[in-house]
Amino acid sequence: MSADERPLKRARTAPAIQMAAPHPFDRDELVRLMTQCAIDLGYTQTAAELQHESGVSFQSTTINQFRAFVMEGRWEEAVAQVPVLELVTPEDSAAVHFLLKEQKYLELLERGEVAEALVVLQTELTPLGYDERELHRLTALVMCTTPAELYARHEWAGNRP
C-alpha cells in the first residue's frame, strides 16, 4: 500500500499547555485575530466555538450594540453610539454619520415611504454637508418605482438579512 493509499491517522488532541511566563502578546487580541482568520477562511462554526471557549468576543460590546442598533433600524440609538466607537479621525465619524442616515433613507425608499425618505434627505442628510455629489445621487433615487430598480440604480442589496 502506497503512502497515498494509507488511511490518515487522526491527530491526537494536545493537552492544554500552561505557560509559566507572562505572554509576550495580548491574549484577547490574539484570539480576535484567530477568530477573524477563521471567519475569513469560511470557518464560521470554528470562529463561534473559539469565541465561546475563550470567552473573548470577536467584537467589543460597543461594536455589537452598535451593529444591533443598525440591524434593527434603531437609527437614533446607532447615531448616539458613534462617539464611543473610537474612530480614528473626525472624518471617519462624519462618514459613519452619513452612512447611517443614508441607510435610513434607502430603507424608507425601499418600503415606499417616499415622503418620510425626503424628510430624512432634507433634514438629516443634507445638513451634514458630507458629500454633495452623493446627495445628488441619493435624490435621484426618489424616482425609483420599485425596490428592484432602487437596488439596481444604487448597487444596493437592500434591507435583507
pLDDT in tens, 15-66: 454 555 566 778 888 888 898 898 889 888 998 899 889 888 877 788 888 9
Cα dist from 131 to 10, 56, 95, 119, 158, whole Å: 57, 38, 9, 18, 21
Indicate whether this model's pTM tops 0.85: no
Q: Point out the least confidently predicted range of 38-47, 124-133, 143-152.
A: 38-47
Cβ atoms 51, 58 nearer than 8 A: yes
- Does residue 132 carry a pLDDT above 50? yes
- How many helices and strands, by DSSP H and E, does the chain display? 8, 0
